Amino acid sequence: MKISKFLLTHLALALGLVLFTSCKKDESLPGGDPPTLTVSATVLSGGSLSDNGTVTATDTVDFSIDVTAPAGFNSVLIGGSGNSILDQGDAGAADLATQVDGIPFRVLTTASDGGGLAKYSFVAVDEIGQRSDTVQFSFGITSTVDFYQNVTLGGFENNSVGGFYDAIENSISNLITAPSNSSKIDLLFYHTNTSGYVIASVDDTDADMTLEAQTTSDLDNFPTRNSTRFRTFITAPNFDAVRTIPDLQNAYSSNVQVSGLSDVTNLVSSTIIGFQIATERGARVGLIQVLETAGTTGSNRSLRFNVKIEPE
């Protein structure tokens, strides 16, 4: 017999097994071969989803389960890992509720499963306790924000590891190439003994003074000096939990300590700051998570960080 298609809106079940049991059992059914099942998946906004495929955090996935049970269908065991929760208490609601051999169910989802991996296993059980082979299905869940990892910027005097950053294209320029790319430079990095490790906008006065002191260059020579602005937080947002655009916007707007900054000084590992690129660049907001600082002299200075930013 066939079990009707059931809907999984998101993308991962809480650890454990969920048992769907038939409303009708016939204890007098004869024996037979063990049940068999097939599982297929379709992304509602796209096409078929293959095992080990990838979806976006806000996609809806439809799973279809087909069972053949010569000895009579009894149940399907579904196990998985992730953040979504199957709530049979809401089974009677019309939204998302469908039928599995007469038993309705609903999947409650979270919107922040991006950056993870959903794993499912399916097993059919017949009326005499025989089980089918386990069918396993997994897929990656990508974030809906742009996520750049392990970005490394060097100091002004480092010509091999640049210190000027394009947050939209995740591109780095050094002091030689930055002026010609100035319209795309959103921030820069430098270090001084008094201010420590610093992220600043290109229109920041202290950054200009430091560049002049450490090199023979001048930010006034940049054709464009984008006015990126930064903010610090009373309580740092959970960077890893930011996977969707609403997550990012909420994190950027919550627990703000100071905003409107043209630079943030004395950065250390684990510091998280917010930023908004210039209006001419789209005024998109983002978060920077400092991973590592290194070196205090000349070309040895560096800053390594992760970035999450609203997509275009």
pTM score: 0.64
13: DSSP letter = B
* Secondary structure in 3-state letters for 118-147: EEEEEEEEECCCCECCCEEEEEEEECCCEE
Q: How many CA atoms lie within 13 A of 221 on its CB side?
A: 12
Cα separation, 306 vs 312, whole angstroms: 18
Question: Within its chain, how far is the Cα of 37 from the centroid?
Answer: 33
Tens place of pLDDT for every residue, the chain, 312 residues?
A: 444 333 343 333 333 344 444 434 444 445 789 999 888 887 777 789 889 888 777 677 777 778 888 998 887 777 765 444 333 333 232 233 333 443 333 333 344 455 677 777 778 888 898 999 998 888 777 777 899 999 999 999 887 899 999 999 999 999 999 999 999 999 999 999 999 999 999 999 999 999 999 999 999 999 999 999 999 999 999 998 887 888 899 999 999 999 999 999 999 999 999 999 999 999 999 999 999 999 988 788 999 999 999 988
d(CA 202, CA 89): 56
Q: Catalogue all structural domains in the chain, each as residue range(s) with its CATH number.
A: 6-142 (2.60.40), 146-309 (no CATH)
The neighbour count for residue 87, using CB atoms within 10 Å, is 12
Measure the CA–CA gap between 146 and 245, rounded to whole angstroms: 9
Site of tokens 């004869």: 30
